[in-house]
Structure 1
Amino acid sequence: MSTTVIVIIAVVLVLLALALVTGVILAKRRRVSLTDTEKKAVEDRPKYQAGGAISLAPAKPALPEHPVADRTEVDGQPGVGDDASVPRDSEKREIVDIPLPDAVETAPEPAAEPEPELDEIEPTSGRLERLRGKLARSRSGFGQGLLGLLGAGDLDEDSWTEVEDTLLLADLGSATTNDIIEKLRSELTARGVRTPEQARAVLREVLVGALHPEMDRAVRALPHVNGDAKKPAVVLVAGVNGTGKTTTTGKLARVLVADGRTVLLGAADTFRAAAAEQLATWASRVGAEVVRGKEGADPAAVAFDAVKRGAETSVDAVLVDTAGRLHTKTGLMDELGKVKRVVEKQAEIDEVLLVLDATTGQNGLTQARVFREVVDVTGIVLTKLDGTAKGGIVFQVQRELGVPVKLVGLGEGPDDLAPFEPGAFVDALLG
C-alpha cells in the first residue's frame, strides 16, 4: 500500500472521529437545556417510538371532545383558534360561534325608479286676466294715443288722420283700419261723445266687434265616442321655424290636462334633433306619453303611429308637432300636406293650429295664407305677445282669413298660454 493511500485513510478516520465527538457534545448540551418539566416527560415516556427515532417533545394532554359552540380552554391551554399571544394564566375566554347562513343570499332586487313628479298646472280660466297687466304695459302707447285723440271732442280731418296712423302702426292693416275708422266716426257722432270715458267705451266696442266675438274659439280636442268605441281628437300643430311651435304644443298639452283631458304627443318634427327631447320633457311634466321616431324618419309615419297609439290607449286627444318650415319652400309645404293626408287614413283631423309670431306683423299674415291653402288651418296660436308685438295682426287674421285666434302666448312660463278672449285682449290693448 502506498504512502499516499495511507495518508488519505488516516485523514478520513480523523474527520469521522471529530464528527462523532461533536455529536456527543451537542446531545449533552441539548439535554442540559431541557426544562425540568420536559426532562420529566422524556424520562416517563418510552425511549423508542415507532420507527426507532427518539422524540424529545413532551406529550400533549388529550383534549376532551366538545361541540364547536362550547369550545373553551382546557387545563390552561389555548383553545383552537385562540390568540397564542394571550398569557395562559389569564381569564378563560369564551369563543362565540357565529352561525353561517344556510344559503348564499341573493342580491336584492334593484329599487323601482321613482315616478316623475307631475307639475301642478294652473287653471285655464282667467289666465288672460292674470296676465293682463303684463300685456297692457307693452300696449299702453297704442291705447293712450287713441284715447287721447278720441276724447278731445269733435275731431277734424287731421285728428282722424292721426287715428288712422296709430292703427296702421299697430299692424291692423289698411283694410281693417278703414273699417274701424268708419265705425268710430259713425258711433261717435250718433252718441254725441264728449268725454274720454265715453270715447273709450265706443272704441272698446268697435275693436271687440272687429274681432268677431261670435266665433267659436274652443280648441276641438274632445274624443269621438261611438257606443263603446272611442277615438281621440287629432290636433296638428304647424308653423314657421322659430315661432315657438314645439313649446306651444307642450303648453297646449298642459291646457288640455288642466281641463281634465288625457293627451298623447306625437314628435313628428324629425329634422330637428332637439325637438323630440324637448317634447318628451313637456310630456313628462304632465304625465303624457310621447311617440317618436329616429332622427330623419318620415314625419308622416311618426304622425300615423302617434294617432294609432292614441286610439289604442283611449286618450282624449293626440297632439302632433310637425316640423317647422318656411312658407316659401314648396317642397316642405307639400310634405306638410302629406302628413295631413296620411293621418286622415287613421282618424279625422279635428284641428290644424297655425303658430304665428306676433312680432312678425304683415309677414305673419302672408304665412297664414300659404299654410291655409295647404292644410286648411282651423285656428291661430299667436305667440310672443308679451314682447314688442303690437297685436294688430289679430285683427287682420280675423278679417282677411276668417280664421279665429284660439290661443295666445304671453310669456316664457309653462302656463303662459291662454285661451283667447276678445274682450280681455282689447282691454289689455287699451291699457
Structure 2
Amino acid sequence: MNTAGHSEATARRGLELTPFRGLRYDPDRVGSLAAVTSPPYDVVVRPDGLHQLQSADPYNIVRLILPQATTPAERNEQAARTLRRWLSEGVLTADPDPGLYVYEQRDGDGMLQRGIIGALHLSEPSEGVVLPHEDVMPHVVADRAGLMRATSANLEPLLLTYRGNGSAAATAEVVERTAEEPPLLATTTEDGFSHRLWSVTEPADMARVQSDLARHQALIADGHHRWATYRRLRAEHPSPGPWDYGLVLLVDTARYPLRVRAIHRLLHGLRVADALAAVETLFRVRRLEVPLAQALEDLADAARAGNAFLLAGDGAFHLIDRPDPGLLTRTIPADRPAAWRTLDATVLHATLLDDVWHIPEDDPAHIAYIHDTAATVEKAERDGGTAVLMHPVREEVVRDLARQGVTMPRKSTSFGPKPASGLVLRALDL
C-alpha cells in the first residue's frame, strides 16, 4: 500500500485519500472517552463551554485545540508541550498500522451518519477537487496555522461531503461492512450523540476506497479556516511530505444527508434599540412577543418570501424583512450570480453590517459567530448586544454556488452533525 501519495496524474483525477497512523486516547488512562472529546474548536461557546470541557477531564482535547494563555505564541507552545507530555505518558498512543477510519454518529431521533476519515491530498484550487463555499477570516487562519505548526499535528478532522454512486459504490460497501464489526471505540457524548470508530487496514479495502474516491470531488461542509490553514502550511514545507495532506472526514450525502443550520451573529456594543432605529425605514420591522421556537417559525415563514432576520437581546424578538429594493441595489455587488446576491448572509454583511450598522466583520471585539441559537440570545441579553438570528441555506444552493466558484460570506452555514474532536488525531511526524 502506497501511503505517501499517488502520482500527479492520479491526484488530479479527484479525491486522494491516504491511510495514516491515528493518535487515539488510551481508554485506560482517561476517565471516559466522552469526557475527553469536544465539539470542533469554533463551536465551543467560550468561555462557558470551554471551562466546562476543561473541568470534565484533565486530558480533554480542548486543552490542545483551544489552549489558554496570555499570547498566541504562549498558547501554541502550551498546546505543543501538552501534546508531547500526553504522548510520553501514553495518554495518546499511535495505532500500529496505517489505516483509514470509519466513523459513525447517531442521535436519539433516528439520525445516522457514517463516513470515512483519512489524510486527504491538498489539491490545487484550480483542479476543482475540493470546493470551498465560504470566505475565511485571515486572523483565524493565522491562529490555526500557529497551532498546527507548534504541535505538528492535525488535531481534528474537517467535514467534507461528496455525492456517491449509490449503495453499490465501493466506499459505501467498505463503510457498511466495516460498521458490522466490533468498533475500536464507542462512546456517547453529553449532547446525546453516540460515536463509534473502526479502522480499515486491509490493503484491498483501502485500495477500493481510494480508487472509488478518485472519481469524486468534495464540498467543504465544515472547516474552511482549517482547510485554508492546511494550504498555507503546505506552501511553507518541502513537498512531497506529510504537510501535503490534511485530516478530513468524508461523508456521502447521497446516503447520509447532512443537516444544514444557520450560524448566528452576536453584535457587541450595538443595542437592539439602536439596531432597530437604523433599519426602521429600510426594512419592515415587527415585534414578536413569543417564545424562541415560535419566533424561529415566524422567521422561516418570512424567509420563504425573501430576506429576513430575527433581532434579539432586549427580552423580545424583532422580525425584520422586506428590505427596500433600492437599498439592496445600492449595497450589493451586481457582478455575482443572483443566488449569491439574494442570500441572507450577503444582505446581512453587505447591507446591514457594512452599510447600515457600520460593524467591521473581521473584528472579534465587534462581532461573534455562534452556532447555538439560545446561547446567542442569552449572551446578547447578558451583554447588552444584539443577536442576529439567521435562517439556514439549503445544501443544493451551497453546492451549486461552490461549483460556480462563488464563495458565500463567511460563516454562512453550519453543516452537521460535525465530527467530535478527540476521537482520532494525525501527527505529522509519524
Compute the TM-score of the two structures, normalised by the length of structure 2: 0.25
Q: Give the structure with higher Rg (CA).
A: 1
The structure with the largest helix share of the pair is 1
The structure with the largest strand share of the pair is 2
